Structure 1
Amino acid sequence: MIGIFKNLVLINNDVTARYPELHILPSHRDYVLDGECIVYANNKPDFELLMERFHTRKEDKVRYKMSEIPVTFVAFDILRLDGKDLTKLPLIQRKQILDEVIKETEHIKIMQYIEEHGELLYQAVVERDLEGIVAKRKDSIYQSKRVNDWLKIVNYKYSDDIWITGYRKSKFGLLAAVKNEGNMRKVGIIEHASITVRRDFYQYIRSFEMREEKDYVYFQPYVKVKIRFLNWNSRGNLRIPVLLEVVH
């Protein structure tokens, strides 16, 4: 998310009215920030609550949820200041400018960072079951796309106890389930896999017994697979699962 105070823009979508708690400016200068909105629950970011706030648009509901599900904007970069482009400056210099310009408030914070001890930081992230870290070269210029100077290191979870019961006819999507007291419980749709893994999967089930409906094809026997994913959500579903291989 890019914060342009007094406007919040998400991929060219003005979402200012959805976050009234962020309207109190931390500085009266003219600037553009790069950062993210976060909702905390149990001292950890909660993606589902964040999405609940994001999809709330009616003013009365926004005001209610502002007190029930408060949002924090965490700034991790500054792109412009008083009309001057800062994107070609080294990251460490932009961080220093960010610290000088932005004074933290209850709902607007500056992302903390450490130098040199990335492995220890990642270990702490894993121990606290957080999502991951981003490693950046401190002399790097600002990039709006993925580059080797900026690496996202995700704390993925892995499971080889997921069963596939069918697939979607249109775009790639495998119906995932787990065994629960002898029954299959649906846990979401796997929409990500390499081309090779997809080909191997479809080849593996080619001789299986199939049953078709309007949007899905179901097959027997079920297929056990290995996946990686971010976490289990509050409904017991997989968040962003990726098919890695067929177990059997």
Structure 2
Amino acid sequence: MEPMLATPAPAPAALPHGRSWVFEVKWDGVRVLADVRDGRLRLASRTGRDVTPAYPELGGLAGLGDVLLDGEVVLMDGGRPSFAALADRMHVRDPRRAAALAAARPVTYLVFDVLRREGQDLAARPLEERRCVLDGLTLPEHVQPSPWYDDGDDLWRVTREHGLEGVVAKRRDAPYRPGQRSPDWVKAAHRRTRTALVGGWRPESTGTGRLGALLLGAPDAPAGLRYLGRAGSGLGGPAARVMRDLLAAHERTDSPFGDDVPAVDARGAVWCDPLVVVETLYLARTPSGRLRQPVVKGVRTDTTADPWAQP
């Protein structure tokens, strides 16, 4: 089953209002479906990729019986969820390394929906009914329900003050629509987030050969890949070295972008096939579609790039 997706709010603070809505924190983690059948657990990413080996500390979910859960895996850093900290976990496949990482810094699985329970498909049921099923589960260690709040404006203020990513509003009577981006769920972030494809990179100007900036793009049917802009923030430390090695495997001689990359950005660029997906934060998009003040958060292997038309 593909997860249901939220519709971005037209403006950062433009959340719905009224008693027909509930509000949750927008967690800075990775979406995971937990499918338990016959005592066996399978954790799947948003794209259906099996990520069970990466999170051995969530093995207690296998004791829940027949159930399908939707939620977010997060890793706390200084009391707040950190995608950068989670990036060290989400790609691990070696069981011994995963176990060592889990013992040192365990993740938390924040569950916000139940889609199947004891053979019954619950997707068509109202959200409030599904929440009652979730509240009736005895969840294992490292697993907890994502809290609900009635006041979206207050939650927006609190998440901003505490440096959290944002807020998601959900209609109480909404069914679960697998694979659809539904207006029954509305997300608003204090800074916008977007997954983008890397079409090239530029080395640091110091001549070290280290990664200095990424040239980002978005898929678009007419042009193939359209240019979103250059991102240099967030590329320091070991993560930059890992990303440079990853991009080196996909180098090419010409630009993969279907539109023009400004000369100031293209100067000294190393082009690559647009296969690597990265998560970015940004303030807004310019009228020409460029990202304002983009920051690279890390590589994503659990999802695809957002289309050009997304805000």
Question: Structure 2-normalised TM-score?
Answer: 0.55
Match of 1:2, SS?
A: strand
Matched, 1:215 2:280: no
Q: Deviations over 1:71-90 (max 9, x none)?
A: 11111000001111100111
Q: Deviations over 1:160-191 (max 9, x none)?
A: xxxxxxxxxxx8858699xxxxxxx9454443
Offset, 1:114 = 1.1
Aligned residues, how many?
Answer: 209
**Letter matched to residue 85 of structure 1:** D
Offset, 1:20 = 1.4
Match of 1:64, SS?
A: helix
Residues 176 and 93 of structure 1, relative CA distance in 2, 3 Å threshold: farther
Matched, 1:4 2:60: no
Counterparts of 1:111 and 1:28, CA distance in 2: 18
By relative contact order (CA 8 Å, sep 6+), the higher-ranking structure is 2
Counterparts of 2:87 and 2:189, CA distance in 1: 20
Residues 213 and 25 of structure 1, relative CA distance in 2, 3 Å threshold: closer
Counterparts of 1:209 and 1:44, CA distance in 2: 34
Q: Deviations over 1:120-179 (max 9, x none)?
A: 111111111111111111110002321111111111179xxxxxxxxxxxx8858699xx
Offset, 1:12 = 2.4
Determine which structure has the larger strand proportion and give its number. Answer: 1
Aligned equivalent of 2:159: 125
Aligned equivalent of 1:36: 72
Aligned equivalent of 1:70: 106
Query: Post-superposition, which runs of at least 4 consecutive aligned residues in structure 1 deviate over 4 A?
Result: 171-177, 192-195, 201-206, 208-214, 231-234
Matched, 1:191 2:212: no
Q: How does 1:224-243 map to 2 (within 5 A)?
A: 227=292, 229=294, 233=297
Match of 2:125, SS?
A: coil
- 8 A contact 1:26–1:104 mirrored in 2: no
**Letter matched to residue 183 of structure 2:** N
**Letter matched to residue 217 of structure 2:** E
Q: Deviations over 1:197-240 (max 9, x none)?
A: x79x978957x898566639xxxxxxxx87054x6759xxxxx9
Offset, 1:193 = 10
Aligned equivalent of 2:181: 146
- 8 A contact 1:27–1:103 mirrored in 2: no
Residues 176 and 125 of structure 1, relative CA distance in 2, 3 Å threshold: farther
Aligned equivalent of 2:117: 81
- 8 A contact 1:4–1:31 mirrored in 2: yes
Matched, 1:57 2:57: no
Matched, 1:155 2:155: no
Aligned equivalent of 1:134: 168
Residues 132 and 192 of structure 1, relative CA distance in 2, 3 Å threshold: farther
- 8 A contact 1:136–1:151 mirrored in 2: yes
RMSD: 4.0
Runs of at least 5 residues in structure 1 that lack an aligned partner in the other structure: 159-170, 178-184, 217-224, 235-239, 244-248
Percent of pairs with identical residues: 28
